[in-house]
Structure 1
Amino acid sequence: MSASLGRAWFHDFDYKVGQAGKAGFKGIEIFYEDLEQVARKMANNNKDTLTPEQLLAAASHCYDACHRSGLTIIGLQPFLFYEGLKDRAQHNRLLEKMKLWLQIAKRLCTNTIQIPANFLPADQLTGDRDVIAADLRELADLGAAETPVVRFAYENLCWSTHIDTWEALWDVVQRVDRPNFGVCLDTFNIAGRVWADPISPTGTTTNADADLKASLDHLVREVDVRKVFYIQVVDAERMRAPLVVGHPFHVDGNPPRMSWSRNARTFMYENDRGAYLPAENVARAIIFGLGYKGYVSMELFSRTMSEPGEQVPVEHAQRGITAWKKFVERLQLEQ
């Protein structure tokens, strides 16, 4: 297994990937906002809509920067707000957008695009899983027509409107029924839905331990490891006060778990930063229960990543690789 680093587009892209490479990471996820930042810098374009040519040139630059730092690009993410839309004109616009993303993926020399399960308001979406699967099948077929084939890694977010558990995710993947359509499994999004609750004074759901054990036992029985395209291993802070109106992270209209995710994730084992999820238990189920072998992304969303200063990417790269090394040691993994 190898570690990869995900998410951190506030700071200069080349500098960030340089620090990730120096720290010892072998792969990286490219966040679309990173690509836009690079494109605007290259084109000196801070106002106008970016052209496909500008984005493709930025993708080539990102690949070169990663290659110089010894980093494989394991995926491009996130292709947002696509499946299950009631607005079918917007659906068609996003299908056209995906055609550009497929070209971008080629420039990045990656074969994987990640799709987070839709979290638009419920009145804009259908919960009909046949419709959701049909929409995603269209993307899979576009990717299958490429050379090389592009894969799609669908991910449940613990605040997604309809597909917020791995069980719902797996049901959709089976309905899509395409070899290049699989899953990204995330320890935060699994534990953060069935075990943790940021609005609870205890930080957990009512039957947290029993429900998580049952869910992971079910995952090991049901999921085909060949459909697990990559995994993300990350923890999160326990809120000192429930994340409700009045909490510093609360945003009107946003699900509490979304606000929690965007502000308060931590790397594994960072107990001094409030990490408390049973993330290692989830990872063990995927790696040993399913037999997963492949990239492990140390993906992080946190308010700390938006702090200014050149030391911020350095500190996060070092924190991430420290967590990875402890993860390897505790699970006795082969790299």
Structure 2
Amino acid sequence: MKLTVNLPNRAYDLWIERGNLKDVGPWLSDLWEPQKVVIISDKTVASLYGNLVHEKLTEAGFEVSLLAVEPGEASKSLANAEWLYEELAKKGMTRSDGVVVLGGGVVGDLGAFVASTYMRGLHFVQIPTTLLAQVDSSIGGKTAVNTRQAKNLVGTFAQPDGVLIDVETLNTLDDRRISEGIAEIVKSAAIADKKLWDKLAGLNNSRELLAEAVAVIHACCVVKKNVVEEDELDHGIRLILNFGHTIGHGIENTYGYGVVTHGEAVSLGMIRISQAAEQKGMMPKGTTEQLTDMLKKFDLPVTLADWRPEAVFQAITHDKKTRGSQIKLILLEEIGEAKIVTLPLVEVEDFLE
């Protein structure tokens, strides 16, 4: 399946299939002239797919090298960005050369951030290898690294030249990583795709979802494509993609990046904000129950035993959706339709009790 993201100044394709990673050479040759290419990955993904991608790109006429960071959210840092800048410089990379970002959401954000800022920007492509990255983070052009204060605090908007999604890479993920990606799938359905929600409701477990992976990933990519085309730079409707993320990012920052995975934090964030919004009459009664049932079915957490509302609130004050003393929260009008609500930042504490 191919899907085109059409933006005012450019367009690029997503290619979603089973087994298309072996065709990465011809795919990239259609996008770029022969040049220096650096693959940015993590050590786990590089051990699985690095040699294949290196070999196929070399066969296609590219001068290829590979750089790998440690796996895990802690690698999405300014320190790693600086190391990558230095390595790109050592390899003589110029603005005529390109970066292939190979991996999950951490590598996707870090590698794209480095590509978009080194020499004021190299062109790059995304090859996401986790479910979370395939349905969300590799699409739309957001790049970022974390700081001690907040997740994704430093970043850019930079669109890739293309995205290659090989569903077969999901076979190497453990159950927790699959569930993490499903949190973003549930989010996409909840905010903008009732048909996808109904499809998920008809599945019994993660295994059945993976059997439908091409169609499910495609549906999520359509949701994100439509929103990004309308609001590339996150000033308006694109904010609905952050359902569960304001509290979720606060949870990640408070409990430790990777201790609670991004998808787990989003799951917890969706439930926490929905419970509070229902109690305040800001969301329809029963919405939280529907979300809870869906998330639990796919082995995602809906409660957190060691709840630290004050610390989470402090993390939220650094959220990028904060504007002065106000913050934009994403709530549901109903399953399949989201709304943006602007509240005084101090009132967000009520959503955390």
Q: TM-score, normalised by structure 2?
A: 0.31
Q: Which has the higher strand share?
A: 2
Larger RCO (alpha carbons 8 Å, 6+ apart): 1
